[in-house]
Amino acid sequence: MAHVLVVEDDPAIRSGLVRSLSERGHAVATAPNGLDGLRQVVDDRPDVVLLDLGLPDVDGHSVLSMIRAVRAVPVIVVTARDDDPSVVRALDAGADDYVVKPFRAEQLEARIRAVLRRAATQDAASTLTVGDLVVELAPRTVTLEGRAVELSRREFDLLAHLAARPGEVVNKRELLAEVWHQVYGGAERSLDVHLSWLRRKLGESAAEPRYLHSVRGVGIRLAAPDPAPDNPSDTAPDGGSEATGNTSDRGPDGGSESTDRVHDESP
Ligand code: CA
């Protein structure tokens, strides 16, 4: 049983959902508009939110962003069309899943169970440590060398997924399915963008990776950096570029593409 909040302005759909969810043993609360829904998310802390995108007061996408700003509660978006570009937008903005109207009660129930399972896994008290990087799953906090790193929800999910299997190359397709919940692709660009933001927040880049290594054509590997050599002058690369982190002075043939390859999988 879960505490389900239904944010839906259509009274017929709303009461239908209340009936079918209650029959399956859930405690159901409803909100006829976005602001009331948001208030209940904050005050009543539901386990899962069913969010209609077409709401009378505030657009469903804005409601979703506001929910995401305050809580990591699972959100299932309810939409009228499965090819709706707004569904993709909602998933990119942090929705956990979606259902298309009209939907069968069993289908909705399965989606609810799935998002609750994922949320429970994420909530399991656990700390992942990779070198000086510490990822705490329950409070969703990250520290690097003892300093807090502020991450967005998606950046955190991406990092946590990689940190669960340190040293292993994680396939991009798996990341798209597990972190973006997009089995059929479509978020590759979003993955690349979030990866680059994550790198920046960890103080590294694709050209100068420390923890996050792209393995071309395969995926991404999170691993602790090698310990600093006792005598750095013995091993400093030509030009000492690691001291400045500046790639702009390498000239046209020394761009980040070739640097990436050299750093990534050389033994
Ligand atoms: Ca509506």
More confident residue, 86 or 205: 205
More confident residue, 253 or 103: 103
| First and final C-alpha spacing in the chain | 51
pLDDT tier at 241 (50, 70, 90 boundaries)? very low
> What digits encode the pLDDT tens for the residues 77-128?
998 876 678 888 888 888 999 998 888 889 999 999 999 988 876 665 578 8
Cα 55 to ligand 1 centre (Å): 5
Backbone angles phi, psi at 128, to 5 degrees: -105, 125
Cα 177 to ligand 1 centre (Å): 28
Cα 15 to ligand 1 centre (Å): 13
Cα 114 to ligand 1 centre (Å): 24
pLDDT value for 180: 84
More confident residue, 70 or 217: 217
CATH of 127-222, one of 1.10.3720.10, 1.10.10.10, 1.10.12.10, 3.40.640.10: 1.10.10.10
Least confident of 34-43, 71-80, 121-130, 168-177: 121-130
pLDDT value for 240: 42
Q: Which long-range contacts (CB under 8 A, 24 or more apart) does 27-30 make?
A: 27/1, 27/2, 27/3, 28/4, 29/3, 29/4, 29/5, 30/5, 30/6
Instruction: Determine contact, residues 5/112, Cβ cutoff 8 Å.
Output: no
pLDDT value for 262: 38
Instruction: Determine contact, residues 40/3, Cβ cutoff 8 Å.
Output: no
Cα 159 to ligand 1 centre (Å): 35
pLDDT surpassing 60 at residue 183: yes
CATH 3.30.750.24 is right for the domain spanning 3-124: no
Tokens representing 158 are 């991406």
Per-domain residue ranges for the chain? 3-124, 127-222
Backbone angles phi, psi at 6, to 5 degrees: -105, 115
Cα 195 to ligand 1 centre (Å): 35
